[in-house]
Amino acid sequence: MAKDFIAAITLGTSQIVGIVGRKEPDGVKVLAYATEQSNGCIRKGVVSNIDKTANCIRSIKTKLDKQLAFRDLGKISKVYVGIGGQSIRSVKNTVSKVFVSSTKIDRKIVKSMQNESENVTYPNAEVFNVISQEYKIGSDLTTDPVGTEGKSIRCEYINVIANPRLRDRVWNSFKDANVSIADTRLIPLVLGENLLTEDEKRSGCILIDFGAETTTVSIYRNNILRHLAVIPLGSNTINKDFDNGMQIDYDWSEAFKCEQALALTDENEQEDDKVFIINDIEYKSSELQPVVEARIKEILLNVTHQIELSGFSINELLGGIIITGRGSVLKALETAIQKNIYNVKIRNAQQNFINISSISEDFDKCEDFVYLPALALLAAKKTTENCNAMVKAGDMDNMFDGKEPKPDSQPYPEDVQPFVPEPELEPEPLPEPKQVYESPKFTEELVIKPRPIVTEEPKQTVEQVIHREPEHFVQPEPVHEEKPKVVSFAETPMPEPQPEPKPEPMFKPKPAEPEEHKHSATKKKNGNPFFDKLKKGIQTLTDVVTEEVDEPNN
């Protein structure tokens, strides 16, 4: 008889992984699993080709359904999706409220403050999660303010933001694959929830996920996420260096990196200089090893920079460093971390995870780091909705943190019903524009330098690759308008003297008379007979009147 189960799919740069399992009191039981190579459709955790990604998702669902049908366990109706990407980062935000009199803090007030932080807008980014730090009520600090009283309340939040295209492209890919989404979760948050112990998160720790093209740094203290950043550098950078500088193909460099390479060599130990023949060319391990060490050092330098940006020193994080991901299998990585970051205790997350059982013996032979994000998503606390179509039809509505997706990104059920147009409604009034949040500190310290595509770079020699200066990658910051620079009075330049204006003349010149008509000159010269006779008559009349006036005097 079919029972409830949970299906999860994670979108990784190297592989897309699907897994079906059931939560049990002692752990997680795996019922089906499948993988597909990304083949470039996902780059740095972001979907770059929707059609190819949809094909991979469709293929994974088909494989999972076949395994479930073989054991008569049901059919997948929807899946939980784990996403990541280099645009994911944390930004601090503060919300405060002041009351007229002493007020009891209830859940409604706390929820309204959280919504206010969530509604903050960022240029080219949207809020994915809001994580409260501490609440300050008066002069008291607490993590649970419900039930306390005060005239004011203030809380600092960590807003986890990312480019809106990160979520939209995921929705469009699953829409084209005709697979419904139950919910989406950020992989860094899911890994932190399931891979770290309560003691580690309480005393403070650093979770480093060494991915193929990105490295994610998550810092916890007092059971709260304090800082999150994704560095656009991963273990595949080593493969690209081998290809760019030595013309070594990806498959061979991947095998060398996982089986022979060391993240850091011990100068005191003298090892044999092994010779490898690749494409009829001999390469010594002493030529290949410096390339690996240079790239690992570059990644760790950026990790150190993110720890500094978090505001915590390594001495305050007593829980140490926990490593995971595809790149964590590199030999001597712990030694390289202790040398480049700090001499702290280091634990590999693959060695201490939740209890996992499987109905297939082959699953135990799989590499842990491949299925680890999907297993963490399967075991997450909020991953509770049944995904078995044979047990319950399920709610196909979007569960995207209470937000409705855009019309072009809504999930479709497997059996698409005929489209029935809805009656047109009157447009609602537009809401008032939201206040744009700007973080000057984040802007000054974090400037990301985009890395050019390796295939477009000119070929370099081995010496150039080894001795190349490490690049400094830092976290991107939302772009905002530049504030006007404040200049002191001493620095203000004196204005140049301007010439005094000339006084206006007391008497304005007589305006020019209008131009004379072309026939007027001729009329003046020849005269007008009518006016000549009239003038002559008036003159005669004037003479007569003058004589009559003069006669009485005589």
- How does the average pLDDT of the chain come out, rounded? 78
Name the residue type at position 73.
Answer: L
Q: What is the pLDDT of residue 396?
A: 39
The identity of residue 455, as a single letter, is T
**Fold of the 6-86+356-409 domain:** Nucleotidyltransferase; domain 5 (3.30.420)
pLDDT, average across residues 15-36:
90
Distance CA 366, CA 386 (A): 26
Longest alpha-carbon distance in the chain? 158
Residues across the chain: 554
- Give the pLDDT score at 265: 84
On the question of pLDDT at 523 being above 50, the answer is yes
The answer to pTM > 0.75 is no
**Pairing state between β 27-37 and 356-358:** parallel
Q: What is the 3-state secondary structure (H, E, C) of 155-196?
A: EEEEEEEECHHHHHHHHHHHHHCCCEEEEEEEHHHHHHHHHC
Instruction: Give domain 88-162's CATH architecture.
Output: 2-Layer Sandwich (3.30)
More confident of the two residues 299 and 420? 299
Residue 206 has pLDDT above 90, yes or no: yes
Whether 6-86+356-409 shares its CATH topology with 198-351+444-481 is answered yes
In sequence order, which residues have a C-beta less than 8 Å from that of residue 259 and are 6 or more positions away?
none
- Cα torsion at 156, 158, 159, 162 (round to 10°)? 160
Instruction: Dump pLDDT digits (tens) for 187-200.
Output: 999 999 989 999 99
Give the C-alpha separation, 309 to 302, whole Å.
Answer: 11
- Strand, helix or coil for residue 372: helix
Q: pLDDT tens digit string along 375-410?
A: 999 988 888 889 988 875 444 344 334 344 444 434
Determine the pLDDT at residue 514.
56
How does DSSP classify residue 311? Answer: T
Cβ atoms of residues 284 and 274 within 8 Å: yes
Q: Where are the domains of the chain?
A: 6-86+356-409, 88-162, 198-351+444-481
Distance (Å, rounded) from C-alpha 377 to C-alpha 6? 10
Task: Look at residue 26 in the predicted model and tell me its pLDDT.
Answer: 80
Give the bridge partners for 461, in sequence order: none
Domain 198-351+444-481 sits in CATH at: 3.30.420.40
